[in-house]
Chain A
Amino acid sequence: MREPTREQGLAIYRMMQLIRRFEERVAECFAGGEIPGFIHLSVGQEAPPAAVCALLGPDDLVGATHRGHGQCLAKGAPPDRMMAELFGRATGTCRGKGGSMHLCDMAHGVLGTNGVVGASLPIAVGTALASRVRGSGQVTAAFFGDGAANTGAAHEALNLASVWELPVVFVCENNLYAEFTPQSVHTKAGSIAQRAGAYGMRGVRVDGNDVPAVFAAAAEAVELARGGRGPTLIEAMTYRFRGHHEGDPMAYRQKAELEEWRAKDPLPRFRGWLGERGWLTDAERARLEAEVQAEVNAATEFARQSPWPAPEAALEGVYA
């Protein structure tokens, strides 16, 4: 079983901090009316994107979900331009045309968050197909949720990736809810990973709040994909601490359940793991967290100071 090195572990922890602080700031700015539209946060779900993307290189690709800020940040998208996109500013990664649910950063291999649940899986299969045909050696990580697992697009994509033995790692962030609907209502089978067998691919279910567990599963999956040995389906069991979208009163879940999962918060948990190894001293932690806070502050200021797009820019770029 592969474990993160000290350097990887610290990078993953830093990324989890960045995702958490970035999204907490997004929540504040949304509540304050600075961010328009709809916002879906992944607070509590930081471990899978941070651990999986730590194993990917700059040329590899990520298909993200509508709850994809963390997936984009983990793949290397710059927080300032991401924040500017959420603010709807001209300096955003998509020049204000996309927003939170349609956030793309091809320069860092981010294929886009996707406003249609399940729709990013077939597209990730396509980027993997191109890697294969071009012999580029790229791996694509396709993130999706438990809700997406029940779409036709997901079934078709998993089957096709397996038939063609494409270099994809499917990462299901199972947070137990499809929007407002709990798993007991939307899925009969106990696990999503077990579906892998039906597609003829490897499947593994891990504790998605346990960084080393996610890392080990992803390390094997990425290695196999890169070696031309086809896709893997990883199901990471996790939980979102906030609602489906900001403003969701969360009437559909019990306080006790939320508290139970808060006790499994992946950040302190991984901090403990790093601490046990003597890899994260208090001084190092303080320095790292201050750095992250400064980065989020700078991103927010960048977004606030950025110009709005000219209204006429709405007419540009329908066709290449």
Chain B
Amino acid sequence: MRYVKAIADAITEEMARDERVILLGEDVGAPGGTFGATKGLLQQFGGERVRDTPISETAIVGAAIGAAANGLRPIVEIMFMDFIGTCWDQVVNQMAKMHYMFGGQVRLPVVLRTHTGAGLNAGPQHSGSLEAWAVHVPGLKVVMPSTPADVKGLLKSAIRDDNPVIVVENKTLYATKGEVPAGEHLVPIGRAEVRREGKDVTVVALSRMVHEALKAADLLSKDGISAEVLDPRTLSPLDRDALLGSVAKTGRLVIAHEAWGPCGFGAEIAAIAAEGAFRSLKAPVRRVTPPFTPVPFSPPMEKRWLPDAGKIAAAVREVCA
């Protein structure tokens, strides 16, 4: 099943299961979503529950917050994560804080779907990866599914969660295929997945970089290096036990993500490893990230900019040398 179909199935199943679930966003209704993830939902569930909004990100997120405070379970879409700055107050000062600052009086079961990712020549304002912004804020949960099975299972768990959950998809994954278990399929929020077992090095990879890390592991196995690929799947709250367990086993750590390095998620992973598994480490931790520039538009520049299997393999070879 394609990743995009897994998203549509998750939303369809949850809307059918629970009439409190509604869908709001730019072009999510009649047009069916920029990448077709919400196609047919308007016809199936009607205009009360599936609503095309004006281009008003602040009002979209605010409306979801209010609707959640008054008994619904909204799913909202912020089309490209680069646009999240336009509604960041609602996300950070309202949605993330209200349960805490009101002493538990409100629960905000809001799901905010958005996508990141370079590789489609969408240019600097449509290709960024900003998940670290959200991970920095208490009160938000953040998931970043890399496979169709995970996006379905995590999205369904997010819809059922009583907290705000940001689901960070990757636009280049929408067309990818993978097995999705038939029937009710839930992936718990907060649990990492070992995508490939290994003994020499742990490669922690996010979203699309999981697939690049797996390719890198294939390349490395030819050199006799056994790489373990760990997909955190949930960035907040993070499965620290899985991370520390893997690092304790392999003694080496490489982190790959598409977001910028400085204050990126990899810095957090490296810090956790330094604090919790320092004595297991046989080599310095390495991060594989893009250069610290906006995402360029033109294909050769964008290709140079993106991390890939070759760059991950090179970093692994360095720490294993």
Is A216 in the interface zone, CB < 8 Å from B? no
> Which chain B residues lie closer than 8 Å to A122 at the CB level?
58-59, 61-63, 65-66, 90
> Which chain A residues lie closer than 8 Å to B104 at the CB level?
95, 317, 320
Q: Contact check: which of B22, B56, B61, B138 meets A133 at CB < 8 Å?
A: B22
A152 to B138 alpha-carbon distance, docked (Å): 25
Contact assessment for B105 and A105 in the assembled complex, using a CB-CB cutoff below 8 Å: yes
Contact assessment for A130 and B67 in the assembled complex, using a CB-CB cutoff below 8 Å: yes
Is A225 in the interface zone, CB < 8 Å from B? no
Is A97 in the interface zone, CB < 8 Å from B? yes
Contact assessment for B69 and A111 in the assembled complex, using a CB-CB cutoff below 8 Å: yes
Contact assessment for B93 and A115 in the assembled complex, using a CB-CB cutoff below 8 Å: yes
Closest to A99 in B: B101
Is A29 in the interface zone, CB < 8 Å from B? no
State how many residues of chain A have any CB contact under 8 Å with chain B. 49
Contact assessment for B66 and A153 in the assembled complex, using a CB-CB cutoff below 8 Å: no
A98 to B104 alpha-carbon distance, docked (Å): 11
Closest to A125 in B: B63
Closest to B162 in A: A320
Question: Which of B45-53, B293-301, B313-321 is the contact stretch?
Answer: B45-53
Is A41 in the interface zone, CB < 8 Å from B? no
Contact assessment for B70 and A61 in the assembled complex, using a CB-CB cutoff below 8 Å: yes
Q: Measured between C-beta atoms, what is the minimum distance from B78 to chain A in Å? A: 14
Is B35 in the interface zone, CB < 8 Å from A? no
Contact assessment for A157 and B106 in the assembled complex, using a CB-CB cutoff below 8 Å: no
Q: Contact check: which of A92, A115, A124, A152 meets B103 at CB < 8 Å?
A: A92
Is B68 in the interface zone, CB < 8 Å from A? yes
Is B64 in the interface zone, CB < 8 Å from A? yes
Closest to B61 in A: A122
Q: Measured between C-beta atoms, what is the minimum distance from A215 to chain B in Å? A: 26
Q: Contact check: which of A115, A124, A157, A319 meets B99 at CB < 8 Å?
A: A319
A136 to B102 alpha-carbon distance, docked (Å): 24
Is A126 in the interface zone, CB < 8 Å from B? yes
Range for the number of chain B residues in contact with chain A: 35 or more
Q: Measured between C-beta atoms, what is the minimum distance from B239 to chain A in Å? A: 16
Question: Which of A158-166, A205-213, A271-279 is the contact stretch?
Answer: A158-166
Residues 90-130 of chain A: 1 if any B CB is under 8 Å from the residue's CB, otherwise 0? 00111111100010111100011011100101111111111
Is B54 in the interface zone, CB < 8 Å from A? yes
A320 to B141 alpha-carbon distance, docked (Å): 11
> Which chain A residues lie closer than 8 Å to B162 at the CB level?
320
Contact assessment for B106 and A106 in the assembled complex, using a CB-CB cutoff below 8 Å: yes
> Which chain B residues lie closer than 8 Å to A159 at the CB level?
54, 56, 59
Interface residues of B in 214-260 (CB under 8 A from A): none
Contact assessment for B69 and A123 in the assembled complex, using a CB-CB cutoff below 8 Å: yes
Contact assessment for A111 and B107 in the assembled complex, using a CB-CB cutoff below 8 Å: no
Interface residues of A in 205-256 (CB under 8 A from B): none
Q: Contact check: which of B69, B89, B97, B103 meets A126 at CB < 8 Å?
A: B69
Is A188 in the interface zone, CB < 8 Å from B? no
| Given A134-B72, A319-B139, A157 contacting B62 (CB threshold 8 A) | yes
| Given A134-B72, A159-B54, A98 contacting B102 (CB threshold 8 A) | yes
Contact assessment for B103 and A119 in the assembled complex, using a CB-CB cutoff below 8 Å: no
Is A131 in the interface zone, CB < 8 Å from B? yes
Q: Contact check: which of A98, A116, A136 meets B89 at CB < 8 Å?
A: A116
Q: Measured between C-beta atoms, what is the minimum distance from A129 to chain B in Å? A: 5
Interface residues of B in 142-192 (CB under 8 A from A): 162-163
> Which chain A residues lie closer than 8 Å to B22 at the CB level?
133
Contact assessment for B58 and A97 in the assembled complex, using a CB-CB cutoff below 8 Å: no
Q: Measured between C-beta atoms, what is the minimum distance from B190 to chain A in Å? A: 11
Residues 282-320 of chain A: 1 if any B CB is under 8 Å from the residue's CB, otherwise 0? 000000000000000000000000000000000001111
9 residue pairs A–B, Cβ–Cβ below 8 Å: A61-B70, A104-B105, A124-B66, A126-B64, A133-B22, A133-B49, A136-B70, A159-B54, A320-B163
Other A-B pairs, 17, CB within 8 Å; known A127-B66, A140-B66, A318-B99: A63-B66, A94-B101, A107-B105, A112-B98, A115-B93, A116-B89, A116-B93, A125-B66, A126-B66, A130-B67, A130-B68, A134-B71, A156-B56, A156-B62, A163-B54, A317-B104, A319-B141
The list of the 10 closest CB pairs from A to B, nearest first, reads: A126-B66, A122-B62, A130-B70, A156-B59, A95-B103, A94-B103, A104-B102, A156-B56, A126-B63, A320-B162
